Amino acid sequence: MVVACNTATVVAIRHLREVFDIPFVGVEPPVKVAAELAGHREPICVLLTQNTASGKKYADLVKKFSQGRRVEAVCLPLLAQVVENGSFRNRKVAAQVVKTVKNALGELSTGAKVVLGCTHYIFLQELLQEAFGPAVEILEPGRAVAEQVQRLMGEHGIGAEENGRRDFYCTGDVEAFAGRIGKLLGIRPPRVVQVEVRH
């Protein structure tokens, strides 16, 4: 089971591992990779949500893997909003995203690393990389998560070929969610099931 959200990983993965007898893979900002690649003077800028940034798990991650490098957490609510509503593909919105990120991060030196600490932001990776150019590297956790999943599948004898079906579960407006998923992932029509979360 992949907890494909940095915030959900921060707040829930420990509990999930205690309750369920199956392997869980969480998603974390690739601070360790950035620290291994960055020089001692170049900053590591982590774009993430406020919930992730304020969590102990993120603080422990930075403390453990930053190797003494300067790590700056930058929270920009606009980024998740434009991915969720799909407007990031609009030229004017894309320009606003780039302007907002550049203003927040300031002038970045050659070799600086920008870490995407929210799974929404992966849809903005190409846009941001183009905006910053080759002097700045944009890092996201997708490959590391996939490699961990493959390793666990091997350990548990699960076949590597995809089979079955893709189901999406939504606590909100099913039709609106299906439309967003269809546009973002190119799945038409996605199978979306309404669920209710009880506290």
Catalytic residues, by residue number, are 5, 118
What are the start-end ranges of the E strands in 34-188? 44-47, 71-74, 113-116, 137-139, 167-170
Looking at residue 133, what DSSP letter applies?
Answer: -
Ramachandran class of 111: left when φ > 0, alpha when ψ lies in -120 to 50, beta otherwise: left
Which DSSP category does 109 fall into? P
**Residue 45 · residue 114 · CB < 8 Å:** yes
Between strands 137-139 and 191-194, the pairing is unpaired
CA distance 169 to 161: 23
Q: Where are the beta strands (DSSP E) in 107-198?
A: 113-116, 137-139, 167-170, 191-194
- Among 66, 2, 1, residue whose Cα is nearest residue 29: 66
Q: If you search the block for the tokens 């950035």, which residue do you land on?
A: 34
